Amino acid sequence: MNANPSFGPATGIGSLPGGDAGEAVKTSTGSFEDFPFLPELPARGPGADMIGRTAGMLVDLYARVEPSGWRIGDRPGRDTKRARSWLGEDLDALEEYTQGYEGPLKVQAVGPWTLAAALELRNGEVALSDPGATRDLAASLAEGLRLHLEEVGRRAPGARIVLQLDEPSLIAVLRGHVKTASGYRTHRAVDRQLIEATLRDVIGVHGDGPVVVHSCAPDVPFALLRRAGAAAISFDFSLLTERDEDAIGEAVEGGTRLFVGVVPGTDSRLSDPAGSVMGVRTLWRRLGLHPGLLAEAVTVTPSCGLAGASPAYAREALAHCVRAARSLADNPE
């Protein structure tokens, strides 16, 4: 039994291999009866990748593919149209396979800081280099996400929508590690309060709906994300260090959900399900947390997206997450 109806015991991160939207959604909904997700299929090409997909959601801002990456332009071109067309196909498939579904359903988009570190301005520098451009981009993203969430709500009217914001570049933005176009320098670190405020504004577009922030990079800023309003934080469990443990304990005690990535994202030999979550149990004991909190506080996921995996392994990895979550719930000690 899921103790928190806003989330399920296991789900995927976002990306899957292949290019068939129907097959991908069928895999997601078939694997996670309690918490399916809208898959992303970057193998289809530019516009299906995480940056292009989210760029296609922007309002009054458009992006096109250049040799150096995605660049903001003046009008919607073929790259924007292709991104929107693929998202439409994905939503069609989602609508077909979620008829009558009434549980939590997760959709993903790139968060404002990773988007600002990826989308280029006309001069070739990323939007992060210009505070005004970064502010406009965040506002456009917030409005685009609001419209996207409304559309998903129309397609799956019985579902409780969970929004995941992917922020793999957040630590690089915080620490001033994002490189300039020349590659010889880095953009200055962004003030933590500004980062938090911008995230809070974007998270706020989901109203009372839960938002999870995902990063498969080291040193996830748990406290900052909680202050910004994240109801859940998704991370690669293998990258945790001792200095993260206090923040983990505070998050659990504060009611924040943990999406723990314990299943490798590329083809690997999988251990038994109980072995996959042994580290989570060990951490729980070390922090002195009540074992009964495990099912309430933890959602089991792959460590990151599965786009680089084989289709057979991707299906097995998702099934393994379900079995590992069941192991946690049945044997919390």
Q: What is the pLDDT along the chain (333 residues), one digit of tens a residue?
A: 345 668 999 999 999 999 999 999 999 999 999 999 999 999 999 999 999 999 999 999 999 999 999 999 888 889 999 999 999 999 999 999 999 999 999 999 999 999 999 999 999 999 999 999 999 999 999 999 999 999 999 999 999 999 999 999 999 999 999 999 988 999 999 999 999 999 999 999 999 899 999 998 999 999 999 999 999 999 999 999 988 999 999 999 999 999 999 999 999 999 899 899 999 999 999 999 988 889 889 999 999 999 999 999 999 999 999 999 999 988 766
Phi first, then psi, for residue 232 (nearest 5°) are -150, 155
Within-domain flag for 80: yes
Q: Following DSSP, what letter does each residue of 45-61 receive, concatenated?
A: -TTTSHHHHHHTT-SS-
Q: How many structural domains are present in the chain? A: 1
Instruction: Please provide the distance, in angstroms rounded to a whole number, between the alpha carbons at the two ends of the chain.
Output: 17
Longest CA–CA span in the chain (Å) reads 57
Token pair in block for residue 119: 């989308």
Within-domain flag for 321: yes
For residue 73, the enclosing domain spans 21-330
Residue among 165, 187, 156, 160 at smallest CA distance from 110:
165
Within-domain flag for 3: no
Residue that the structure tokens 């939503």 belong to? 91
Q: CA–CA separation, 63 vs 43, rounded Å?
A: 19
3-class DSSP state for residue 35? Answer: coil
Q: CA–CA separation, 150 vs 332, rounded Å?
A: 38
Q: Which residues contact 50 (CB under 8 A, 6 or more apart)?
A: 14, 15, 40, 42, 108, 110, 166
Residue 93's H or E segment, with its range, is helix 78-97
Q: Are 79 and 65 in contact (CB under 8 A)?
A: yes
Q: Are 293 and 270 in contact (CB under 8 A)?
A: no
Q: CA–CA separation, 46 vs 82, rounded Å?
A: 8
Q: Tell me, what DSSP letter sits at residue 65?
A: E
Within-domain flag for 81: yes
Q: Tell me, what DSSP letter sits at residue 238?
A: G
Q: Following DSSP, what letter does each residue of 126-164 receive, concatenated?
A: BGGG-HHHHHHHHHHHHHHHHHHHHHHHHHSTTSEEEEE
Q: CA–CA separation, 252 vs 120, rounded Å?
A: 37
What is the CATH classification number for the domain harbouring 62?
Answer: 3.20.20.210
Within-domain flag for 9: no
Within-domain flag for 10: no
pTM value is 0.96
Q: Following DSSP, what letter does each residue of 260-324 receive, concatenated?
A: EEEE-SSS-----HHHHTHHHHHHHHHHT--TTHHHHHEEEEESS--TTS-HHHHHHHHHHHHHH
Q: Which residues contact 273 (CB under 8 A, 6 or more apart)?
A: 320, 323, 324, 326, 327
Within-domain flag for 12: no
